[in-house]
Structures are given as structure tokens and as C-alpha cells.
Amino acid sequence: MRDEPHSDVFFVLFCGGAQAYYSRMRSVLVLIGIGLLLLESGGTIRSVRMPEVVASAATITTSSEPKARVDFDTQLKPIFQSKCMPCHFSGGQMYDRLPFDKPATIRKLGTRLFTRIKEENDRRLIEDFLTQSP
């Protein structure tokens, strides 16, 4: 059996004291933290190119040509009629809950409409409609 005083002496001689022990433990924890961060990022270091990001943001904000306003009745309603009729139009079984002939319903659903709308031009029109003020 070991005496308590002998184990304290062993600890101080072997580890160099409590401060050294805590310093080593802190180093181990830092290394574990760095390892976890590398594991989370996929083990790759990605370079960030801020000047390009800033330049592209400046290009977006300085666009002088405003987008044309999307008209619901002439541009969007025909899309919905071709994809969502008869269910979401007058007389359809879904009309009471989700009437697609009303702009408010389209604004409420947002991009969840894209489960049925697959064409990029149609999606772009809907996105433009959603971003414009009512």
C-alpha cells in the first residue's frame, strides 16, 4: 500500500507540480479542440478571397437597371393554371385551403411552390414576384 505523502511526492517529481499538470492538460484540450474543428471542416483549410466578394457585392448594389414588375394575372396565373389546375382553382378540392388564383396565397407559400414548378424561367418569375412589394 502506498502512503498518501509518497503519492504526492511522486506526483510533484513526475509531473512537475500542479501548475505544470494544468498547463499540460490545457495544451491537450487545445489540441483536441483544434482536431475537432479540423474534423468538422472536413480536414481542409479554405482560403477566403474577400476582394472578390466585396467586388461582386458592389456590382450587385450598383445595378442601375431595375427589374420589371411581375404581373400576377398575366404572368403567374397561367403557370399555376397549367400546373395546379383543377385542384387549386375554383371548384377544386384544395381551393378552399390554398386558392392559387389569389396573390396572397402565393406570397404565403413562397418557394414551397417549387415542388410542382420545375422550369427555371417559371421559378425565376415566382421569385421575382415574391421579392417585389405587394
pLDDT tens for each residue of 17-52: 677 777 888 888 888 888 887 777 665 555 555 555
**Pair 95, 88: CB distance under 8 Å:** yes
Is the pLDDT confidence value at 86 over 70? Answer: yes
Q: Rounded to whole angstroms, how far apart are CA atoms 119 and 53?
A: 29
76 and 34, same structural domain?
no
| DSSP category for residue 15 | H
112-129 confidence digits (pLDDT tens): 888 888 999 999 999 999
Instruction: Tell me, yes or no, whether 27 lies in a domain.
Output: yes
How many structural domains comprise the chain? 2
Instruction: Tell me, yes or no, whether 58 lies in a domain.
Output: no
Residue 29 lies in domain: 4-40
